[in-house]
Amino acid sequence: MGDFYTEKMVKRKAGERELAPAAGLAAAALISAYIALSNLLGVLLVIIFVGLCVIAVRRSRIEYEYLFINGDLDIDKIINRSSRKTVFSMNVSELELLAPEGNRELERYGNARMLDFSSNQPAFKRYVLVAGRKGELYRVVFEPGEELVEGFFLMAPRKVLH
């Protein structure tokens, strides 16, 4: 049997949680601009808050990369196309279930810890992967695409629902 390799990039749509810090900093910058009219400290505060606001907006640009190689799944989080960090890693032997979001079989795993590595856009088909790692059960929401689902199916056909 040959090696199985597939990868997929998903760009996350910034939601309220990601944009709230930037909005707060923008409000602080406006207040500082008002203070700047009366003293020099306000000018310094405006510069600081605008800089922090720019950083917060850049950190809200998130992409996920799903990499599946011979039964090993790695999910990397890429922030502003510059910093990368592996946020989830597992082997197919740890897989309990892979099913489309909303499938009734997933109800049995309602107490598992939820991780969301999806684009946050309802137009795309989302799956939930249930895996047991280090004594803890995880429900991972992601958008694997047909090729990645097929890879899981080849490795563990009884644990994958289409």
Q: What are the tens digits of pLDDT across the range 27-59? A: 887 777 777 777 777 778 778 888 888 888 888
Please tell me the total count of domains within the chain.
1
Q: What are the tens digits of pLDDT across the range 77-96? A: 999 888 999 999 999 999 99
Ramachandran angles phi, psi of 101, nearest 5°: -60, 135
Q: For the residues of 95-106, what is the DSSP string, one character each?
A: EEEEEETT-GGG
pLDDT at 1 over 60: no
Question: What's the pLDDT score for residue 64?
Answer: 95
Ramachandran angles phi, psi of 77, nearest 5°: -105, 125
- Per the domain annotation, does 156 fall within a domain? no
- Per the domain annotation, does 26 fall within a domain? yes
- Per the domain annotation, does 27 fall within a domain? yes
Work out the pLDDT band at 135, boundaries 50, 70, 90: confident
Question: What's the pLDDT score for residue 2?
Answer: 60
Work out the pLDDT band at 146, boundaries 50, 70, 90: very high
Q: With beta carbons less than 8 A apart as the criterion, state whether 123 and 11 touch.
A: no
Task: Give the domain extent around 32.
Answer: 16-59
Neighbours of 77 (CB within 10 A): 16
- Per the domain annotation, does 109 fall within a domain? no
- Per the domain annotation, does 54 fall within a domain? yes
- Token output for 11: 């760009």
Question: What's the pLDDT score for residue 139?
Answer: 96
- Per the domain annotation, does 38 fall within a domain? yes
Question: What's the pLDDT score for residue 106?
Answer: 93
Q: For the residues of 7-65, what is the DSSP string, one character each?
A: EEEEEEPP-HHHHHHHHHHHHHHHHHHHHHTT-HHHHHHHHHHHHHHHHHHHHT-EEEE
- Per the domain annotation, does 91 fall within a domain? no
Q: What are the tens digits of pLDDT across the range 103-112? A: 999 999 989 9
- Per the domain annotation, does 106 fall within a domain? no
